[in-house]
Amino acid sequence: MAQLAGKAAIVTGGASGIGEACSETLAREGASVLITDIDDALGKAVVERIVKAGGKARYLHHDVRDEAAWPGVIADAEKNFGRLDIMVANAGIGVMAPIETMTLADWQRQQAINLDGVFLSIKHAIPALRRQGGGSIVLMSSIAGLRGAPGLAAYSATKGGVRLLAKSVALEHAHDNIRCNSVHPGIIATPIWGKIPTGAEGNRRNAPIDPVERATMMVPLTRVGVAQDIANGVMFLCTEAANYMTGQELVIDGGITAGGRPTR
């Protein structure tokens, strides 16, 4: 029996990378999935693949920063799927630059998508989740939300904010049977790495290095993660198996934050 049969989910930033894997995984487990994104071509392609595989999915163009459009997103899920049980607030970007050369515009763009967007995802989902007697909210943070990340100061500030947002929402809505947890990926091979600008000044010292090279240096499990590694954790948080888990951090990083280098 599919673990999410009869459930309905929204995945923001579901057109690519981790969001794409989450959308496909939730759909495989029987959930109807509303994918929102600003990349319409990729988003529609993910829906096509899900439907071809026998799943149920829809795509809606939506920028997570657009508060005026949020009620329409929630209404779309409720109208087409009859309910909403799961919100995966995944959309995010990163800009790499040392704090000295980080522009206010780049700082604010990351805050707007990574933090305002997550706030709006939660705020607008809660009434719909409450109408079902509860639900699961999963926020995509990062290991950069657990500890400092040189060159990614603004990004880490947003992801640390997401981490604490999850805990506060968990406490505010435990009585509604709405659970809220954060997921903290390590280095995951997705298109985001190719999109990270290094700031107007350029910054070779802190520029992202080849993820495979980075993995052999930093990851105890000696490989970069794949989007499915993260989708598996998100999936778990959405099922009954996690029904006593709220306000917590699920770290999926191949052991990077475990505290040291492996012994061999």
Q: Which residues bind ligand NAD (CB under 6 A)?
A: 12-13, 15-19, 37-39, 63-65, 90-94, 113, 140, 142, 185, 187-188, 190-192, 195
Distance, in Å, from the CA atom of 23 to the CA atom of 82, rounded to the nearest integer, reads 18
Rounded CA separation 19/247 (Å)? 21
**At closest approach, how far in Å is the CB of 5 from ligand NAD?**
26
Q: Which is nearer to ligand NAD, 12 or 246 (CB)?
A: 12
Identify which of residues 13 and 254 has a Cβ nearer to ligand NAD in the complex.
13
Q: Taking the complex as a whole, how short is the minimal distance between the CB of residue 191 and ligand NAD, in angstroms?
A: 4
Q: How far is the CB of 245 from ligand NAD (least distance, A)?
A: 20
User: Smallest distance from the beta carbon of 244 to ligand NAD, in angstroms?
Assistant: 25
Burial class (CB in 10 A: 0-12, 13-18, 19+), 53: exposed
Tell the smallest beta-carbon distance from residue 63 to ligand NAD (Å).
Answer: 4
Query: Order of strands, edge to edge, in the sheet holding 56-61?
Result: 56-61, 32-37, 8-12, 86-89, 135-140, 178-185, 249-252
User: Do strands 56-61 and 178-185 pair parallel, antiparallel, or not at all (unpaired)?
Assistant: unpaired
Q: Whose Cβ is closer to ligand NAD: residue 71's or residue 134's?
A: 71
The amino acid sitting at 154 is A
CA angle 2, 223, 159 (to 5 degrees): 70
The closest alpha carbon to 89, from 181, 17, 174, belongs to 181
Catalytic residue among 59, 81, 107, 155: 155
- Cα 258 to the center of its chain, rounded Å: 22
Phi, psi of 185 (to 5 degrees): -70, 150
Q: Which residue type is seen at 160?
A: G
| Contact by Cβ (8 Å): 52, 102 | no
Cβ-based nearer residue to ligand NAD, 91 or 128 = 91
The nearest distance, CB 6 to ligand NAD, in angstroms, is 27
5 or 210: CB nearest ligand NAD: 210
Distance CA 18, CA 164 (A): 21
Is 155 tagged catalytic? yes
Q: Please, are residues 199 and 101 in contact by the beta-carbon 8 Å criterion?
A: yes
Of 131 and 195, CB closest to ligand NAD: 195
Residues with a known catalytic role? 155
